[in-house]
Chains A and B, each alone.
Chain A
């Protein structure tokens, strides 16, 4: 059914800390590794070792140069499905293959009923859905629905593969509908934000902003440079220095 549930019991999602993400792509590869054998298996690659490699991946990491009065520098930006509360990708689906679960808010594609019309990917502002040409169906982040409830896994592994793989702890998984959950607390404390909130799809996943660099930078005392006299001998040495270091 592609009409959205009026409310979901939980709002399971991710909180991604852009301050500590180092852009290592471990979340990307672990996602691919798990999901090519998981719920929406296989995640096909085309020409993976050739000149034009392509394929369906559910998580991508961009790197941007940011300059504002709060922060200047590089931000690594993981991008995957945000499991929106008002998910247009679900309502446009003509078959009911794309749906949002009432129990936990996870947005899924049923690979057995998807007709591969690609309309959901057109409706998604985040570019989160990738079409699998080989399978003829749409693929998307499942929030590792086949891990998080999987009692055959050790308890510490019952979390999305990307969260488990992150070496810096930049990704957290939890119930964003519960104001007391760790993820909701960190969103509150750190000023977590929505992507493209103006679109109005109410994404569940939240991002934490990079902290201001000067907040934590150690204060260093730099010795003042010796004064220059501008004498010819100084100029000669300066020239020799430049010439030799060329």
Chain B
């Protein structure tokens, strides 16, 4: 599948934003958040800014962005529509929570709002994952691990940002670093398992099934001389050798480097304001490559008509 940069930016940025919103809200509910007052305000605003940046960038993927509002209507059947509804619905409690902290109002109301924000963040990221998982046409996406990986990566990138914010606010970042480390280990493990699974299985569908006649040898004549939309969108391929190198990059920059830095912060509690930004940048780069690969490695069954043997 063609990796569209707008979708990569959308899923990584808003994923991290929802992750941060989730941890902020949860820590707020439990009452263990070391950020208070304007620090909390800055943190929740950064989460909402990342979410908004992602959602705005997702509209660049649309042919008719001015009609994007129509996408809220089909939540009964469409995961994309559900994602839109969940995203907008999450703005309500999260926005109110932001307003409360802006005016310095603290009261019982912030607890249900924080709970709803956390719930909305999980729901939205889950819907994002399900958009891909629900597509039976792409075996690398139609996989039960996919929505869990989306959740785990959002949780770990959000926890990493929380650690960074706490470090910059001068708080002790040991707790957040431990949380981010655990989330990173979980996400890395899931991603590794996912790669092993998709490598182990060959596609269920063959050219014989696509054309309906057994014994398809090859395509003698393509229908058109130059690639069309289907080939450009669905036929994007990354060489296996490059995919291996890129996976190694994801494991190194996305998980190993930030993991080691977080472990140092979690154990010693020192150097957090220096190490956290490095960890965030490294994990961000790893995450973007991960998302790019998620698209580039996905094989669509329509390519069976254009010479693919299995998909």
Residues of A that sit less than 8 Å from B by CB:
1-3, 18, 23, 25, 28, 52-57, 60-68, 71, 74-75, 77, 79, 88, 90-97, 113-119, 121-127, 130-133, 135-137, 193-200, 207, 209-210
Q: If A2-B74, A62-B221, A95-B71 touch, does A125 touch B215 (CB 8 Å cutoff)?
A: no
The 5 closest A-B pairs by CB, nearest first: A116-B63, A136-B63, A127-B302, A68-B215, A63-B221
- Asked whether, in the complex, the Cβ of A115 is within 8 Å of the Cβ of B62, the reply is yes
Contact pick for B211, options A56, A64, A91, A116, CB 8 Å: A64
Asked whether A127 and B221 contact (CB < 8 A) given A2-B78, A68-B215, A92-B79, the answer is no
Interface contact B218-A198, CB-CB below 8 Å: no
Chain B interface size range: 35 or more
Q: Name the residue of chain B whose CB is nearest to the CB of A51.
A: B226
State whether A124 touches B228 (Cβ < 8 A): no
Q: Judging by beta carbons under 8 Å apart, are B305 and A79 in contact?
A: yes
Residues on the A chain within 8 Å of B216, using CB:
64-66
Question: Contact between B230 and A130 (Cβ–Cβ < 8 Å)?
Answer: yes
Interface residues of B (CB under 8 A from A): 1, 61-65, 67-68, 70-74, 76-81, 84, 131, 134-138, 204-205, 209-230, 233-234, 300-303, 305-306
Shortest CB distance A143–B (Å): 20
Inter-chain CB contacts under 8 Å: number: 199
* Closest chain B CB from A114 CB (angstroms): 7
Q: In the bound complex, do residue B61 and residue A117 qualify as a contact, i.e. CB atoms below 8 Å apart?
A: yes
Evaluate contact between A196 and B217: CB separation under 8 angstroms.
no
Cβ of B137 and Cβ of A117 under 8 Å apart?
no
With A65-B219, A124-B302, A198-B209 already in contact, 17 other A-B pairs whose C-beta atoms are closer than 8 Å? A53-B225, A66-B216, A92-B77, A93-B77, A96-B74, A113-B70, A115-B62, A122-B138, A125-B205, A125-B210, A126-B305, A130-B230, A195-B209, A196-B205, A196-B212, A196-B301, A197-B209
Query: Is B78's CB under 8 angstroms from A91's CB?
Result: yes
Q: Are B228 and A54 in contact (CB under 8 A)?
A: yes
Question: In the assembly, what is the distance between CA of A69 and CA of B302, in Å?
Answer: 26
